[in-house]
Amino acid sequence: MKRSSLSGAFSLRNISFILLLLLCACNCSSPGKPSGQANPLPIPPLLKDDDPAPGRELFSLEVRQGTKAFLSGNVVPSYGYNGNYLGPVLRVHRGDLVSVAIQNKIDEATTLHWHGLEVDGAMDGGPFVLHPPGDRWQVDFRIDQPAATLWYHPHPHGLIGKQIYKGLAGLLLIDDEVTDKLPIPKQYGVNDIPLILQDRRFDLNGNMLYKTSQSDVVHGMIGNTMVVNGVVNPYLEVGTRKIRFRLLNGANASTYNISLSDGSQFFQIASDGGLLEAPVPMTSLVLSPGERAEIIVDFSHYKTGTTVFLVSPGFDILKCIISEYVKDDTVVPRKLASIEKISASLASTTRTFVLSQQGSFVAINGQRFSPDRIDENVKAGATEIWDIYNAGMGGMMGGDMNFGGGHGMSGPGGFMGHSGMMGGMGHPFHIHSVQFQLLERDGQQPPPGERGWKDTVLLNPGEEVKVIARFMHTGKFVYHCHILEHDDLGMMGAFVVE
């Protein structure tokens, strides 16, 4: 059922926009002055497989405390997997049997969630089983889903925002027979480049700040400095070739509207759960927290010596230097993959989820998360439609304010996904252990970039999205807003598949 819009008066929406700009100006301290030098973009290393047997992958991860210097040479406390900040890339192939041995070496409890991976509840790494300091555990799963860019991160309720902010995040890349054969860029670190995008807040001395005001709780943690793969001011020498960027919005709360600084066109080839059926030409891409996308940028049209930036309002993401002529035999194919469409007629159940917020009180269907409560019971193997609606600030007033051609609103802290203080905020909704398809966005067919497999979807105030999924894995899972401070506040529910 299509719900009525929450649109308010034009003047009210303008007031909301001005208030939000003032809010960000007050709460986002100026960053410590960078040294002025650009930093080479680090490429996250591929984690070595400890098992030489074909079709079996054995990895080891340690959750570590460390230190990191981002700005002004000032060293700040950090977390990382197998290092000081972020983690290595786990690369696997469809059909592989994967085992990951994990040890918690930080001084607080944690978990390890495989975001986007279709696994049973015992392997999901959600908030139900916490691992205290010193604990060791192992997860085992078989990869049975299409090639995709997924990620892993902690999920302890009440600590997820802090732990990801301090550095706990890494990528899980799946290959399959389709990507093996496609002539797209796929030389990891050469023309296949992962970009973990995170905005962080620094003071004038280069100290990394977290939750310094009530605004950071209500709106989520918005930074004043872009950090890409763990560094600020990154650059990449690309040459005259096509580059495939694997984009992860690993921010706590910011939604980015990504484009090239000269307005050039690029192609989206994949969403959260894998390849689209065909490349989508575009000049900007909206990515909310938790979402991923793969794009191909063709730098062969530029003269050597030229520079162009990947940008989002308020941020330069990556300086791309066309450094030399390079022969390139990769192509952007007209056809990428075949996606089996799930028919709505197959759904046995339709469930409704209403996202609401009144200040720091955030809820789904009027309730905050409780680890002792099951909100939904799903039959194993069932196909269901989930009807998700963002009621904004209690659904009383406000509207969907779109700036820059995307969802949400741009401001000094980046393209943040807010729709005005009075109308509430955009909420990225994530479901564990399934990849779903969008049936409708506000009663209309979803845009081309959202017609593939998804596990996270952005809803602005007043927006309604219907998704359809098959629930093939059993166990206890959660669905939640992926603004991490909202997750910690309890904008999350629990469901059981059995």
Please give, one letter per residue, the 3-state secondary structure of 101-147.
Answer: EEEECCCCCECCEEECCCCCHHHHCCCCCCECCCCEEEEEEECCCCC
Q: Average pLDDT in the 373-381 region?
A: 98
Question: For 137-161, what is each residue's pLDDT tens digit?
Answer: 999 999 999 999 999 999 999 999 9
Question: What is the side-by-side strand order in the sheet with 56-69?
Answer: 75-81, 56-69, 97-104, 136-142
pLDDT of residue 202 exceeding 50: yes
Q: Average pLDDT in the 192-204 region?
A: 97
Q: What is the band of 51 on the pLDDT scale with cuts at 50, 70, 90?
A: confident
At 59 the pLDDT is 98
pLDDT of residue 395 exceeding 90: no
pLDDT of residue 476 exceeding 60: yes
At 50 the pLDDT is 85
Q: What is the band of 407 on the pLDDT scale with cuts at 50, 70, 90?
A: very low
Q: What is the band of 394 on the pLDDT scale with cuts at 50, 70, 90?
A: low
CB atoms within 10 A of CB 305: 9
* CATH fold of the domain at 39-181: Immunoglobulin-like (2.60.40)
Cα–Cα distance for residue pair 21/11, rounded to 1 Å: 16
* Amino acid letter, 223: G
- Provide the 8-state DSSP code for 341: P
pLDDT of residue 33 exceeding 60: no
At 393 the pLDDT is 76
User: Domain 10-28+340-497 maps to which CATH number in 3.40.50.150, 3.40.30.10, 3.40.50.300, 2.60.40.420?
Assistant: 2.60.40.420
- Provide the 8-state DSSP code for 22: H
Q: Average pLDDT in the 35-51 region?
A: 88
pLDDT of residue 406 exceeding 50: no
Pick 418 or 253 by higher pLDDT: 253
* Amino acid letter, 366: G
Poorest-pLDDT segment among 26-40, 228-242, 335-349, 375-389? 26-40
Going 475 to 438 to 488 to 117, the CA torsion angle's sign is positive
Residue that is written with structure tokens 């509430």 in the block: 424
- Whether 10-28+340-497 shares its CATH topology with 39-181 is answered yes
Length of the chain counted residue by residue: 498
At 197 the pLDDT is 98
Which DSSP helix (H) or strand (E) runs through 160?
helix 160-165
CB atoms within 10 A of CB 164: 22
- Cβ-count burial of 300 within 10 angstroms (0-12 exposed, 13-18 middle, 19+ buried)? middle
Q: What is the band of 72 on the pLDDT scale with cuts at 50, 70, 90?
A: confident
Average of per-residue pLDDT values in the chain: 89
Cα–Cα distance for residue pair 32/250, rounded to 1 Å: 22
At 36 the pLDDT is 58
What residue segments make up the domains of the chain, in order of their start? 10-28+340-497, 39-181, 192-321
Question: For 300-331, what is each residue's pLDDT tens digit?
Answer: 999 999 999 999 999 999 999 999 999 999 99
Poorest-pLDDT segment among 28-37, 375-384, 421-430, 450-459? 28-37
Q: Which class in CATH covers the domain with range 192-321?
A: mainly beta
Question: For 215-229, what is each residue's pLDDT tens digit?
Answer: 999 999 999 999 999
At 423 the pLDDT is 64
Closest CA to 454 of 446, 464, 462, 443: 446
User: Which residues contact residue 40 at a Cβ distance below 8 angstroms, ignoring those fewer than 6 apart?
Assistant: 234, 235, 236
Going 71 to 72 to 76 to 79, the CA torsion angle's sign is positive
pLDDT of residue 416 exceeding 60: no
At 26 the pLDDT is 41
Q: What is the band of 32 on the pLDDT scale with cuts at 50, 70, 90?
A: very low
